[in-house]
Amino acid sequence: MKYFNHHFGEFEFEEKHIVDFPEGIIGFENLKKFIVVDDEDSQPFRWLVSIEDSNFSLPLIEPNLIIPDYYIPKMPGKKSVFVVATLREPFEDSTLNLRSPIIIDNDTQVGVQIILEDEKLRYDFSLKLETIPE
């Protein structure tokens, strides 16, 4: 399958890689179908790319790269956990939203952005001094 995206131009993907978000993403509830794009230049960040709106893509990161044991889904089955990265220039102003991770079920390819009740989790966790493992 082919789709066009403002960052990546025309790109191809297999249907099995489509992640279905029945409730959409918070603030973008009308968008339901996405692909997680692993762009070499953007690593360790990834992109949640809409295949319904060619101008929509959201930078993500696996929070466990930065904060071990940040959040482990209690639901059964294999899940991928991401958080939305608000990246800015200068980089020092960049943050992660730890309050509402995106959980993708790897077996069913269904995703959801949840809101965690823990009020200590920040919307604007600073990336300034963070490091990633080799």
Q: Please, what is the minimum distance in Å from the beta carbon of residue 98 to other proteins?
A: 11
Which listed residue (10, 12, 74, 131) binds other proteins by CB under 8 A?
131
- Residue 9 or 16: the one with the smaller Cβ distance to other proteins is 9
Q: Please, what is the minimum distance in Å from the beta carbon of residue 100 to other proteins?
A: 5
Pairwise CA distance, residues 13 & 126, whole Å = 33
Coil, strand or helix at 132 = coil
- Binders of other proteins in range 86-115 (CB under 8 A): 86-89, 91, 94-95, 97, 99-100, 113, 115
- Residue 16 or 56: the one with the smaller Cβ distance to other proteins is 56
Count of CB atoms situated within 10 Å of the CB of 54? 16
DSSP 78-120: -EEEEEEEE--SSGGG-EEEEEEEEEEETTTTEEEE---S-TT
